[in-house]
Amino acid sequence: MDKTKVYLGVFLVLVIGVFSFTFFNQGVPSPLLMAKGGGGGGTGDAVLPTAVITSPADQSVVARGQATTITAEASDNVAVARVDFYASNKRKCTVSAAPYTCAWEVPAGKGKTYSLQARAYDTSGNVGNSDIVTVTSE
């Protein structure tokens, strides 16, 4: 028997085997054919968590040189791992359990505008951003 017939036979066995495993195992390849961490038609969590700043209100005034509490609500289809709070794109707090609050020290400058945002992270690493809330110091 020459090598060409052997190779063709091995190829056909593999093709028929993969088809059989895929077809009769409802689209899931044999564990022998799956690479580590791949295949199998898994259903990973691709749903982003949600985050909403509930306080302070958008366009509100905050006292300069004092702490203002930023409050957010966060949810996810699986679980929220943490919520990070940002003031003008600088992280100010990280909270890993509800209630999600952050005591933000408002800088001393009068009439300054700040953008507040909450970012919720789920246990799969997905990130959901709140809408930006704008506040001004008095």
Which residue ranges form the domains of the chain, and what is each CATH number? 1-42 (no CATH), 50-137 (2.60.40.10)
Q: How far, in Å, CA of 63 to CA of 80, rounded?
A: 31
Q: Is the pLDDT of residue 26 over 60?
A: no
* Selected residue with higher pLDDT from 36 and 45: 45
pLDDT at 15: 44
The three-class DSSP label of residue 102 is strand
| DSSP H or E stretch at residue 48 | none
Biggest CA pair distance of the chain: 91
pLDDT tens digits along 53-111: 999 999 999 999 999 999 999 999 999 999 999 999 999 999 999 999 999 999 999 99
For residues 116 and 134, the answer to whether their CB atoms sit within 8 Å is: yes
